[in-house]
């Protein structure tokens, strides 16, 4: 990086970016989905199928069938259409006796109940252990279910830690001898356990697989396909809106140095909340996350220290008059940030416009964290401990701002208490920030250290403990897994049943 502590110059001294060009340009401004003209008929047919499936759910009363039906609806991305019915089924599962000698059944029951915030203990798996080290050999399907269930472990779930280790080794050893479709299921789980998958991508992937299942229900299958097509239509409309917003930004500003990734940003956000009722959230999330990308590129790569601090101070003061103090290439960007926040206020209306205050405050905190990291970099300072580093970098990763942006667009399900909670840096979101920061640093340390970058948590750990990069990465992987457990602890804290 060319910028320096005394405020490096623009022009030829600026760092050259190595980002590949935008792949999409204005594609979604004119794109017509193949099913766009059939939307009314699709909605009508989906309504008929929904009632057929709802009737079927109400007549399902055996525990194994309830579990199979529930996991099928979840994997096909249909669970949000039957929330009340599924909750009633899970109440039955939670309060009923079951075959606790069936590892597949025990695993599936545990997975669905804990995922849906019922209080269930991992002790149910202890009876399947052999000599406390491994699990008694079971069929592949059962161990696959165990492997997926075990990834809902939290602190103290030692039996699940062992279950992951054992079942993974076992599944890997069997993989090359398995036949389709079990082979694909096992391979997918080894890459990404079921609980950690993106819901909408899992639905898209699982629909063809479910279509080959001889026990499939045709109404569920057809509804899943229609639901996916209808979501895609909605996503295309939203992509058109954010593409227009981004095109206006580029039309006003000289941002040739930043990553032009609005479609990829939207794709990321649609994975975070894909349900149709969260349309406004997805749009706001895409815009705010794109601003984060631009600001990150300015502070990290393109802007001088002086320019970056000027931008941070302007955002902190939040006034159009501050634009006169900014370098020319940042003026239009700054005004567009202010304008976008004002437009979100207008969209929300008088009663909900207060939400933007919290969004604005968290953006200020983000750029303040960027400025802190900038000072570390310019002084070649490596934080003395991981704790010191994460105090700043768990904020600079953007978790608090992105979480707030998601809540801003969620209509009536959030209150001001929600935003006060986010602004207070709750442990749940802090744990998310730590997880993302550590995961990001593991994969980017070598690449970023080749340039002029702030020391990552990896290099902080190397200096603190006098270890190699490889050993530091291995240890930080464990820290990341611990932070993932923290996320689960806090997200599952409010249980439906004790």
Please tell me the predicted confidence (pLDDT) of residue 20: 75
CB atoms within 10 A of CB 318: 15
Mean pLDDT of 167-181: 93
Question: Is the CB of residue 310 less than 8 Å from the CB of residue 317?
Answer: no
Q: Of 49-53, 75-79, 272-276, 339-343, which range is least confident?
A: 272-276
Round the average pLDDT of the chain to a whole number and report it: 91
Q: What is the DSSP string of 235-301?
A: HHHHHHHHHHHHHHHHHHS--TTS---HHHHHHHHHHHS-SGGGHHHHHHHHHHHHHHHHHHHIIII
pLDDT tens-digit series, residues 378-408: 999 999 999 999 999 999 999 999 999 999 9
Helices (H), 298-414: 305-317, 328-348, 355-378, 386-396, 399-408
Using CA atoms of 346, 351, 356, 358 in order, give the dihedral in degrees to the nearest 10.
Answer: 180
Mean pLDDT of 143-147: 96
Question: Is the CB of residue 74 less than 8 Å from the CB of residue 220?
Answer: no
Please tell me the predicted confidence (pLDDT) of residue 11: 35
Please tell me the predicted confidence (pLDDT) of residue 92: 95
Q: d(Cα 436, Cα 191) in Å, to the nearest integer?
A: 18
In the predicted model, is pLDDT for residue 59 greater than 60? yes
In order of 41, 202, 233, 294, 360, the CA distances from 275 in angstroms are: 20, 14, 13, 27, 26
Where residue 310 falls among pLDDT bands split at 50, 70, 90?
very high
Question: Is the CB of residue 200 less than 8 Å from the CB of residue 33?
Answer: no
Structural tokens at position 486: 């923290």
In the predicted model, is pLDDT for residue 5 greater than 70? no
pLDDT tens-digit series, residues 65-93: 999 999 999 999 999 999 999 999 999 99
Cis peptide, bond prior to residue 181, ω within 30 of zero? yes
Mean pLDDT of 271-289: 95
Mean pLDDT of 462-468: 94
């Amino acid at each position: 990086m060319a910028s320096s502590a005394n405020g490096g110059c623009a022009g030829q001294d600026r760092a050259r970016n190595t980002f590949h060009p935008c792949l999409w340009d204005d594609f979604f401004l004119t794109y017509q989905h193949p099913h766009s003209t059939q939307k009314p008929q699709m909605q009508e047919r989906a309504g008929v199928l929904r009632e057929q499936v709802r009737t079927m759910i109400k007549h399902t009363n055996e525990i194994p069938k309830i579990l199979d039906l529930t996991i099928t609806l979840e994997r096909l991305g249909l669970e949000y259409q039957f929330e009340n019915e599924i909750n009633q089924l899970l109440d039955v599962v939670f309060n009923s006796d079951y075959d606790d000698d069936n590892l597949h059944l025990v695993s599936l029951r545990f997975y669905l109940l804990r995922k849906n915030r019922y209080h269930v203990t991992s002790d149910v798996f202890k009876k399947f252990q052999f000599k406390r080290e491994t699990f008694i050999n079971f069929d592949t399907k059962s161990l696959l279910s165990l492997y997926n269930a075990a990834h809902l472990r939290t602190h103290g779930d030692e039996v699940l830690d062992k279950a992951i280790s054992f079942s993974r080794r076992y599944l890997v050893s069997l993989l090359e001898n398995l036949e389709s479709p079990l082979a694909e299921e096992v391979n997918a789980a080894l890459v990404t356990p079921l609980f950690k998958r993106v819901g909408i991508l899992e639905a898209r992937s699982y629909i063809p697989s479910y279509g080959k299942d001889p026990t499939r229900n045709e109404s569920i299958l057809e509804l899943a396909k229609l639901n996916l097509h209808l979501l895609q239509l909605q996503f295309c409309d939203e992509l058109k809106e954010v593409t227009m917003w981004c095109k206006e930004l580029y039309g006003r500003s000289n941002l040739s140095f930043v990553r032009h990734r609005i479609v990829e940003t939207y794709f990321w956000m649609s994975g975070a909340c894909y349900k149709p009722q969260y349309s406004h959230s997805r749009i706001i999330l895409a815009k705010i996350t794109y601003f984060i990308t631009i600001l990150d590129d300015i502070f990290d790569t393109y802007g001088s220290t002086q320019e970056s601090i000027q931008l941070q101070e302007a955002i902190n003061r939040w006034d159009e008059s501050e634009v006169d103090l900014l370098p020319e290439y940042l003026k239009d960007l700054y005004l567009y940030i202010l304008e976008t926040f004002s437009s979100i206020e207008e969209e929300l209306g008088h009663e909900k416009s207060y939400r933007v205050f919290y969004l604005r405050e968290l953006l200020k905190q983000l750029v303040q964290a960027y400025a802190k990291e900038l000072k570390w970099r310019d002084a070649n300072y490596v934080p003395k401990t991981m704790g010191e580093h994460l105090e700043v970098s768990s904020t600079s990763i953007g978790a608090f701002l992105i979480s707030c942006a998601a809540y801003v667009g969620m209509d009536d399900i959030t209150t001001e208490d929600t935003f006060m909670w986010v602004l207070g840096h709750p442990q749940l979101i802090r744990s998310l920030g730590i997880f993302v920061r550590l995961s990001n640093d593991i994969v980017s340390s070598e690449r970023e250290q080749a340039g002029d970058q702030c020391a990552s948590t990896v290099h902080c750990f190397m200096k603190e403990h006098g270890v190699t990069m490889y050993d530091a990465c291995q240890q930080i992987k464990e820290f990341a897994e611990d932070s993932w457990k923290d996320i689960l602890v806090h997200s599952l804290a409010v249980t439906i049943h004790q």
